Chain A
Amino acid sequence: MQNISISKRSRRLRTALAVALAAALPLAAGLGAGSAQAKGTLVYCSEGSPEGFQPQFFSTGTTFDAVSVPMFNRLVEFDIGTTNLVPALAESWTVSPDGKIITFKLRRGVKFHSNANFKPTRDFNADDVLFSWSRMADDANPFHKITAGQTFAYFEDMGMKNIVDKVEKLDDATVRFTLKRPEAPFLADMAMDFASMLSKEYFDAMLKKGTPNAADVYPIGTGPFEFVSYQKDATIRYKAFDGHFRGRPKVDALVYSITRDATARYAKLKTGECQVMAFPKPADLAEMKADPALNVLQKEGLNIGYIAFNTEKKPFDNKLVRQALNMAIDKDSILKSVYQGQGQVAKNPIPPILWSYNNAIKDYAFDIAKAKELLAKAGYPNGFEVDLWYLPVTRPYNPDGKRMAELIQADWEKIGVKAKLVTYEWAEYRKRSKTGEQSVMMFGWSGDNGDPDNFFVPLLGCEAVKGGGNVARWCNKDFEALIIKAAQTPKQADRAKLYEQAQVIFKEEAPWITVAHSIRFDPVRKEVKGYKMDATAHHYFNSVEIVK
């Protein structure tokens, strides 16, 4: 831009203006003509811009969808559509009997992408695994700290440093992880986005060139798609990677059209400007399902939307009060007005698609009379006043916190509980929740790795009261013993039994009102074949093809 002289630019501006005016007339006629996509290009209307192009730094689904999903692989991965682990960059793995040593046998012949500045000379090997891990774990790694504000979100927030003792290369194709304590969910952790495998050779080459940052901005991975370009807040372009170890994807090019507004995304899907859209609005689903040009796929969400009572505060330290408020909520109305059918009533803290879900548990039924009775028994025959904190933003587990709050407010009024609706800016909301100043608050959780431990420990464990993730500030000794034991038990069937017992205690003690598990929908155009919805809310396009 700076090379163009002013006069030239203004002349061009004048010409452009003249042309624009001349073009305005014929334009009006044929504007709506649906855009004919280049053959083999899949356009996905995504909900936002990625924070960056390095999966280790960030923690949002939007970033993962744009980075680790199309361009990177993990040692183990989730079978798309389930939370079962399948081999990926590791062909196989063994776990020692004490659960502390995990040995990965790496796949051979896996190729990395290339770009204008880098052509890989070797395949993926153990050095890349060690590098990817040490970059996060080791202060001495030259890339551990190269830009201001660079941190390793998941690695640090999940306390990986306290879990993994060391990582060693046994040979070019074998890597051994030694843990500090038995940790049953560790393998599932390794399938998460932060554990994506980077190319050591690429990073070294960029360091040599004096531009170490480039490796984080122009990503090189082993994934099905290669990075082409990014126009901030507008589009991300990828092309199919011929050398992908699972075979070249069926489409030639992949484009993410960043469209923040859901109405706009839907309109683009209708006109065929994109073929898949992220996060439809509940309100549009009925119309989408009726549209013959669309397929609406659905999947139960790996999440829970809940209302937590601060069990350290009066009157919520009283189990009877918590139970009474549970009974005074008409969940069916909430499902209808807030989720609009895009959810199912929750009775447990984990969703039914997760193993160890205790289906024998009975939910508190909507019963005003019984609720009043319990409240009277607890010493509050005339109810009380309370601040109800509601979510200021739309979350996957709760499409509209405000509307949910309005419904609950009306319901509780019937048993004399007067709720004042309060909210804060989202970051402020989370920050305050950790200090325990809340009385009753709306919250939720989306699972990252399909292990029940990923729900119980961060949300209801005693340790999480200190950390702030346990917003009910509920620490129950029996419950805690069960979930700790489960994390250290290697066999899934044994673990499931422990978690089932924990859910019984949870329901009786009622630290939460479990409101709903949302159902996720991915509307795709009919010509899109082979698209499968993922369990952890990512969007995978490697097996998709477009059949006109």
Chain B
Amino acid sequence: MAESTAAVEAGDDGYAAPGPLREFWLAYSQSRGALIGLALVVALVVLALGADVIAPYPPNEQYRQSTLVPPAWHAGGSSAFLLGTDPVGRDMLSRLIHGTRLSLLIGAISVTISLFLGVLLGMLAGYLRGLTETFIMRLMDVMLALPSLLLAIAVVAILGPGLANAMYAIAIVLLPHYVRLTRAAVMAEAGKEYVDSSRIAGAGPLRLMFSTILPNCTAPLIVQATLGFSTAILDAAALGFLGLGAQPPTPEWGSMLAGALEFIQRASWVVTFPGLAILVTVLAFNLMGDGLRDALDPKLKR
């Protein structure tokens, strides 16, 4: 959060009066959904950072005598394992809490990579135009023409299964959105007077691209990045579900779900809780993304 508000501040340089941060917060806090989203995201971040302290057990510790113990409120449940245990006797709650860390990390890293590359390519396409643009944009068209999950599967399969590779795959799948967005924004801004005046003042192309134009395109990028978080988490879970994501014994939600799928009838908690965790996290980022969009860019208001 701190990061994005800072960017907004920089972007809204030209305005004076009520202070951009405050203005943003006033707009953002108008939506109840956005506030709920923010609260959930803060809670998730706290869980992720404090996982070692908050989780009652180490995530990979196997209690072989207590396999598939149901959640505490079920018959046969035990207060020692609030959300029950998995097939090898690991505490579900602890694994879910540690999983938060992984999911947020996946989201953060893949979005950062994608954002960085996407902005770079989009800038080049929008500013240089010509052949560079044609090449970059056609490549993005091709990537968009493939079913995204299939693309992600193929990329992970090439790189080999694993958490880091899943992140790269997701970053690649997300890429076209940032490229298109940046290019469109750059093209819209490039014709404006303030760009011309900088150019006349002697700014080089790099300076023009990154310090003059970019700050004025940040709003839609911030919104897209927040929403990209949720896409990344969903995709990572789907990859984990297909056995291509995090490798054992990593407590990633998608692979936890896939690894215990056979118990869906007998011990549904091993399947429902990881799914619920994914849903809540994705929902939180979507709520926050919606709120940011409404607050940052009234034109995009849905």
Contact = CB atoms under 8 A, between A and B. Distances in A.
Asked if chains A and B come from one complex, the reply is yes
Interface of A: 262-263, 266, 281-284, 286-287, 330, 333, 336-337, 390, 392, 400, 402-403, 405-407, 409-410, 421-425
Contacts of B248: 390, 402, 405-406, 421
Contacts of A410: 60, 62, 88
A403 B67 CA distance: 13
Contacts of B24: none
B262 A333 contact: no
A463 B120 CA distance: 57
B245 to A, nearest CB: 12
Given A337-B88, A400-B262, A406-B249, 9 more contacts: A283-B263, A284-B262, A403-B259, A406-B60, A406-B88, A407-B88, A410-B88, A421-B249, A423-B247
Contacts of A400: 259, 262
Interface of B: 60, 62, 64, 67, 87-89, 157, 160-161, 243, 247-249, 259, 261-267
A337 B161 contact: no
B265 A282 contact: no
A403 B265 contact: no
Contacts of A333: 64
6 contacts: A284-B266, A287-B265, A287-B266, A337-B64, A402-B259, A409-B249
Contacts of A336: 67
A257 B19 CA distance: 67
Given A336-B67, A337-B67, A392-B243, A403 B266 contact: no
Given A263-B264, A283-B263, A410-B62, A403 B247 contact: no
Contacts of B264: 263
Contacts of A409: 249
A70 B62 CA distance: 46
A284 B267 CA distance: 10
Contacts of B262: 262-263, 281-284, 400
Contacts of A287: 265-266
Contacts of B263: 283
Contacts of B67: 336-337
A424 to B, nearest CB: 8
Contacts of B157: 425
B273 to A, nearest CB: 17
Contacts, number: 56
Contacts of B265: 263, 266, 283-284, 287
At the interface, is chain B mostly helix, strand, loop or mixed?
A: loop
A406 B87 CA distance: 11
B180 to A, nearest CB: 33
A422 B67 CA distance: 24
**5 smallest beta-carbon distances between A and B, as pairs:** A283-B262, A281-B262, A406-B249, A283-B263, A337-B88
Contacts of A402: 248, 259
Among A283, A403, A405, A407: residue with most chain B CB under 10 A: A283
Contacts of B60: 406, 410
A407 B89 CA distance: 10
Contacts of B243: 392
Contacts of B261: 263
Nearest to B61: A410
A508 B70 CA distance: 43
Contacts of B161: 423
A292 to B, nearest CB: 18
Nearest to A393: B243
Contacts of B62: 406-407, 410
Contacts of A390: 248
Contact of B87 (A263, A284, A337, A423): A337
Contacts of B267: 283
Nearest to A424: B160
A212 B74 CA distance: 63
A333 B264 CA distance: 21
Nearest to A267: B265
A284 B266 CA distance: 7
Which interface residue of B87, B243, B259, B266 has the most chain A CB atoms within 10 A? B87
B257 to A, nearest CB: 13
Nearest to B267: A283
B95 to A, nearest CB: 12
Which of B60, B88, B160, B161 has the most A CB atoms < 10 Å from its CB? B88
A409 B248 CA distance: 10
A66 B157 CA distance: 31
B60 to A, nearest CB: 8
A424 B267 CA distance: 29
Nearest to B62: A410
Nearest to A332: B64
Nearest to A286: B266
A407 B157 CA distance: 26
Contacts of A282: 262
A282 to B, nearest CB: 7
A333 B243 CA distance: 24
Contacts of B249: 406, 409, 421
A174 B210 CA distance: 88
Contacts of B259: 400, 402-403
A48 to B, nearest CB: 17
Nearest to A263: B264
Contacts of B89: 337
Contacts of A422: 247
B288 to A, nearest CB: 34
Contact of A421 (B64, B160, B247): B247
A101 B261 CA distance: 53
A333 B87 CA distance: 11
Contacts of A262: 262
A281 B243 CA distance: 18
A147 to B, nearest CB: 29
Contacts of A330: 64
A534 B162 CA distance: 40
B62 to A, nearest CB: 5
A411 to B, nearest CB: 9
Contacts of B87: 337, 403
A263 B263 CA distance: 9
Contacts of A337: 64, 67, 87-89
B31 to A, nearest CB: 37
A311 B266 CA distance: 41
A521 to B, nearest CB: 14
A424 B87 CA distance: 23
A420 to B, nearest CB: 9
Nearest to B161: A423
A438 B196 CA distance: 63
Contacts of A424: 160
A294 to B, nearest CB: 14
A470 B239 CA distance: 33
A286 B266 CA distance: 9
Contacts of A392: 243
B81 to A, nearest CB: 16
A296 B67 CA distance: 24
A245 B249 CA distance: 55
Nearest to B157: A425
A174 to B, nearest CB: 52
A287 B249 CA distance: 28
A281 B265 CA distance: 11
Contacts of A281: 262
Contacts of B64: 330, 333, 337
B182 to A, nearest CB: 36
